[in-house]
Amino acid sequence: MDLTKLLQGIDYECIQGDINREVSGIVYDSRRVFDKVLFVCISGAVSDGHIFAIDAVSNGATVIVVEKTVDVPDNVTVLKVKNSRVVLAMLSAAYFAHPANELVTIGITGTKGKTTATYMVRSMLEASGIKTGLIGTIETIIGDVHIPSSHTTPESYVVQETFRKMVDAGCKCVVMEVSSQGLMLHRVSGFTFDYGIFTNLEPDHIGPAEHKDLADYIYCKSLLFKQCRHGIFNADDSHLEEILKEHTCDVETYGFSNKADIKASDVHLLDKKGTLGVAYHLDGLINMDVEIDIPGKFSVYNSMTAISICRHFGVSDDIIKKSLAKIRVKGRVELLNVSPKFTVIIDYAHNAMSLESLLTTLREYNPKRLVCLFGCGGNRSRERRFEMGEVSSRLADLTVVTSDNPRREEPQAIIDDIIIGVKKANGNYITVIDRAKAIRYVIENAKEGDVIVLAGKGHEDYQEINGKKYHMDERELVADVVLDGNFIK
């Protein structure tokens, strides 16, 4: 491709070489350089791409985009820019012929609810005949192709490449999770979203490797609403005013607030023999009754998010209801069909905040017992172990402490830390170090009316031990117990 065409609209200074040349591709990882590519030097949290500029040239790169000085041969074109991440996004959009212009783009940001809401939106739009791609924490979906994800929001080059694949596959729309990191690192720069959605905000992702403080976290979330045409917001969130600061989009709201454009009311919980759900009524810009087989008030918010988006596409009330009735999101309050006498749920809750939210929600269904099985990841914060142990002991009738991803730590040492937190409250507990055996225990010892939560792994289908990932899918472990049939039915 002609370099000058790629550079249209980009502010740069040519430090050396000639811009009148062809490039064969765009690369931002020096290990993937091939002949005649344009290499973008990214200053990352772990390593600085400028260090690898000479390696990239040795491997065939003929154009280098930099933020600072690099020492490369004179025949290499060097372009200096203010922000190489922004430029990577713009170059990538141009390289793939601006595929976002051929899609209706929907970006959902927020601390919680992004994953579930994206699946709900895709389900409704697909049921309406609108072929829709998805990019998110669990996977990317392009037609019938499902690609496991490594990041909630991929690097900008991958985003644009994926958009192009979606267009080529006949997609008319894409719905994607937009993380605060993705916004901060300009992974979704280079195009304007048609719809930007804000679900909620709670303190999270704050630390040396992510956001320096809550204000930075909020600011990064707010960037989406300077980069979208239409904004849809949770009217009930306490941080809404900060999120809206300097927004440039239209504003529409949903929630329980009387000021919301779409308002929920008459919420009631549903318990249907092993399946927990919720029903409510919507007024305002849309008027309908809603029922969903996912428990809790957060399910009301997630479904309102999806409905608020899909009404702009003319999705009928009937399709909305049918889509919500069958929606299941892997590892997100995922109900398993085990027995009508008790309920089994898999959820990704892997910190104290998410576990408390989940257990508090399930408490509202007045279970005979609330049983919580969980572990904590190795080589991560010990504080999380104490906190999750205390939360489970306080809210669950029985805590089953087991292994999660021990990584390079001893599983028993992690469990010992969790027990310190468990003993800060008064709940009963047992320890079963082998997760498969722990899952078998809670099902085979279930009592009628129990709600059993398998927390922490969610959509993951592996267990990481000493640097190696071993296959372990909790759905399969539960299915093995069901096959043996040693529990109340």
**Residues in a beta bridge with 264:** 282
Q: Determine the Cα angle at 284 with ends 281 and 287, to 5°.
A: 45
Contacts of 430 (CB under 8 A, 6+ apart): 398, 399, 400, 401, 441
Confidence of residue 188 (pLDDT cuts 50, 70, 90): very high
Q: Quick one: 62 and 193 in the same domain?
A: no
Check whether residue 310 and residue 354 sit in a common domain.
Answer: no
| Residue 294: burial class (beta carbons within 10 Å; 0-12, 13-18, 19+) | buried
- Which parts of 96-144 fold into alpha helices (H)? 114-127
For residues 197-204, give the mean pLDDT. 84
∠ CA 150-155-157, nearest 5°, is 125
Do 165 and 313 reside in the same domain of the chain?
yes
66 and 31 share one domain:
yes
Split at pLDDT 50, 70, 90, the class of 59 is very high
Query: Encoding tokens for residue 53?
Result: 């500029």
Identify the domain containing residue 460 by its residue range.
334-484
Q: Among residues 305, 326, 347, which one ends one of the domains? A: 326
The string of pLDDT tens digits covering residues 218-242 is: 999 999 999 999 999 999 999 999 9
Above pLDDT 70, what percent of the chain?
98
Q: What's the pLDDT score for residue 381?
A: 86
Q: What is the 8-class DSSP label of residue 28?
A: S
- What six digits make up the tokens of 203? 């303190």
Instruction: Write the pLDDT tens digit of every residue in 118-171.
Output: 999 999 999 999 999 999 999 999 999 999 998 889 999 999 999 999 999 999
Distance between alpha carbon 229 and the CA centroid of its chain, in Å? 22
SS3 263: strand
pLDDT score of 209: 56
pLDDT at 336 over 60: yes
> Are 139 and 266 part of one and the same domain?
yes
∠ Cα 276 371 422 (to 5°) = 140
3-state SS record for 281-298: EEEECCCEEEEECCCCHH
pLDDT mean over 53-63: 95
Q: Are 308 and 287 in contact (CB under 8 A)?
A: no
103, 240: one domain: yes
Domain boundary among 70, 95, 120: 95
CA distance 6 to 173: 25
DSSP string, 240-262: HHHHTTT--SEEEEEESSTT-SE
- Segment 101-112, tens digit of pLDDT: 999 999 999 988
Residue 180 scores a pLDDT above 70: yes
Torsion of CA 251, 254, 257, 261, to 10 degrees: 60
63 and 163 within one domain: no
DSSP state of 472: -
pLDDT at 274: 83
Q: Indicate the residue among 75, 95, 115 that finishes a domain.
A: 95
CA 179, 184, 189, 192 dihedral sign is positive
Is the pLDDT reported for residue 45 higher than 80?
Answer: no
User: Do 215 and 313 have their domain in common?
Assistant: yes
pLDDT digits (tens, 9 = 90+) for 295-326: 988 999 999 999 999 999 999 999 999 999 98
pLDDT at position 47 is 81
For the chain, give the mean pLDDT: 94
Look at residue 472 in the predicted model and tell me its pLDDT: 97
The answer to whether 73 and 270 are in contact (CB under 8 A) is: no
Shared domain for 82 and 187, answered yes or no, is no
Asked if residue 138 and residue 287 are part of one domain, the reply reads: yes
Shared-domain flag, residues 393 and 407: yes
Angle made by CA atoms 57, 63, 69, in degrees to the nearest 5: 80
pLDDT at 441 over 70: yes
Cβ-count burial 248-266 (b if 16+ within 10 Å, e if not):
ebeebbbbbeeebbbbbee
Q: Where are the alpha helices (DSSP H) in 172-316?
A: 180-184, 214-222, 240-243, 297-310
Task: Please tell me the total count of domains within the chain.
Answer: 3
Asked if the structure places residue 489 within a domain, the reply is no
* Residue 457 CA: distances (Å) to CA of 139, 155, 181: 15, 25, 22
Q: Where does residue 144 rank: exposed (0-12), middle (13-18), buried (19+ CB within 10 A)?
A: exposed
| 433: three-class secondary structure by DSSP | coil
d(CA 423, CA 415): 12
Confidence band, pLDDT 50/70/90 cuts, at residue 206: low
| Other CB atoms within 10 Å distance of the CB of residue 10 | 14
**How large is the C-alpha radius of gyration of the chain?**
24
